[in-house]
Amino acid sequence: GAGVSQSPSNKVTEKGKDVELRCDPISGHTALYWYRQSLGQGLEFLIYFQGNSAPDKSGLPSDRFSAERTGGSVSTLTIQRTQQEDSAVYLCASSKGEAKNIQYFGAGTRLSVL
């Protein structure tokens, strides 16, 4: 596609429920990243994919968070048993394999856990 697409744009859920956030990267971009941004804060790295592999999951805050990428394209970030502190904007980015320093971001999914 023309840009990085994320869905849903907004998600409201109840504490304890599971949520799935989707990211469609730019076609041909082999690298994909998930970040979390709390209100008024910078971006916090969560996970990096190269192709379908995730060589760096170091930013995932707990084992309630997981992510996968299939076909070297679409990625899903899953949060199980959501907590109120999970409320944030979840941003996905992609980049060309040879230029990972230039990352293209989606508009994010705003997650609110009640």
Partner 1 sequence: GQSLEQPSEVTAVEGAIVQINCTYQTSGFYGLSWYQQHDGGAPTFLSYNALDGLEETGRFSSFLSRSDSYGYLLLQELQMKDSASYFCAVDANDYKLSFGAGTTVTVRA
Please report how close the Cβ of residue 42 comes to partner 1 at its closest, in angstroms. Answer: 4
Shortest Cβ distance from residue 31 to partner 1 (Å)? Answer: 6
Rounded Cα distance between 54 and 63, Å, is 15
Contact footprint for partner 1 (CB under 8 A)? 4, 31, 33, 35, 40-45, 48, 50, 56, 91, 93, 95, 100-108
Q: Closer to partner 1 at the Cβ: 19 or 89?
A: 89
Peptide bond into 8 cis (omega under 30): yes
Q: Smallest gap, in angstroms, from Cβ of residue 80 to partner 1? A: 25
Nearer to partner 1, 76 or 105 (CB): 105
Torsion over CA: 110, 41, 34, 23 (sign): positive
> In the complex, what is the shortest distance from the CB of residue 45 to partner 1, in angstroms, rounded to a whole number?
6
Which residue reads 């998600």 in tokens? 11
DSSP 52-90: TEEEE-TT--STTEEEEE-TTS-EEEEE-S--GGG-EEE
Q: Which is nearer to partner 1, 43 or 74 (CB)?
A: 43
Q: Residue 41 or residue 78: which is nearer to partner 1 going by CB?
A: 41
Around Cβ 43, how many Cβ atoms within 10 Å?
17
